[in-house]
A and B are shown apart, each in its own frame.
Chain A
């Protein structure tokens, strides 16, 4: 069992604030790192898949960076909106298996 840790566990921010979360994973035998957005009563939806050290990906106001040598990834949300409220999961991919973190629950207060 691999340890994939996410911090913080939960976060409340005001609308318009920018925020970021951390995902830590084992740095050995790295294959890919995924970020998912998971709204209550729905299924997780992929945001980013990153495979190379130094990768940076962006989708609208959300971006992510990857450091495979030290085993961490950051997810940034710029100018948070209430519709960004969700749980953000990272998943570490090694071979055919996927190991999820426990997620960061984001609540954006209007």
Chain B
């Protein structure tokens, strides 16, 4: 996946517990994104980062926080997981060649909140 890894790939957690998903890249790209994918909604942006410690909210950021303490890692935290956060989460990076090649996505994390 062009140097982008998401972990874990699958997770089941209980309502009310905190959960952290990790996106790791090996290519030193500045821009990283977290999306969630739900039936009928396509991909919706949760948060994105444009550098170390530089993050901003997307369209569905409530209940989520992010951190980027180093270039290669972008962490997504569900502060207190709810059933509505059951989804597939995708991380994406924007490489220098994005105008020609688009954004690169990770393989996704399937999260189930019970």
* B74 nearest CB across to chain A (Å): 14
Residue of A with least CB distance to B101: A46
The answer to the question of A21 belonging to the interface, with a C-beta cut-off of 8 Å to chain B, is no
**What B residues does A97 contact at CB under 8 A?**
45, 48, 58
CB distance from B12 to the nearest CB of A (A): 18
B41-A102 in contact (CB<8A): yes
Contact digits for A26-48, partner B, Cβ 8 Å, 1 yes 0 no: 00000010101000001111111
Least distance between B78 CB and chain A CB atoms (Å): 21
Q: Give the distance in Å from the alpha carbon of A42 to the alpha carbon of B104 in the complex.
A: 12
Candidates B1, B103, B106; contact of A98 at CB < 8 Å: B103
* Tally of B interface residues using CB under 8 Å: 28
Determine whether the beta carbon of A51 is less than 8 Å from that of B102: no
Within 8 A of A (CB), among B65-114: 90, 92, 98-108
A36 touches B102 (CB 8 A): yes
Could you say which residues of chain B place their CB within 8 Å of the CB of A103?
Answer: 42
A89 at the interface (CB under 8 A from B): yes
Q: B56 contacts the other chain (Cβ, under 8 Å)?
A: yes
Query: How far is A45 from B101 in the complex, measured between Cα atoms in Å?
Result: 9
Report the minimal beta-carbon distance from A64 to chain B, rounded to whole angstroms.
12
**Contact (Cβ within 8 A) B42 A96:** no
Known: A43-B1, A43-B90. A98 touches B98 (CB 8 A): no
Contact of A100 among B42, B56, B101 (CB under 8 A): B42
Nearest CB of chain A from residue B55's CB, rounded to whole Å: 11
A76 interface residue per 8 A CB criterion:
no
Determine the chain A residues whose CB is within 8 A of the CB of B35 once the complex forms. Answer: 100
User: Which B residues lie within 8 Å of A47 (CB)?
Assistant: 102
A98-B33, A99-B45, A103-B42 known; 14 new pairs, CB 8 Å cut-off, are A34-B103, A36-B102, A43-B106, A44-B105, A45-B105, A46-B101, A46-B102, A46-B104, A96-B48, A98-B92, A98-B103, A100-B42, A100-B43, A100-B44
Query: Which B residues have a C-beta under 8 Å from some C-beta of A?
Result: 1, 31, 33, 35, 40-45, 48, 50, 56, 58-59, 90, 92, 98-108
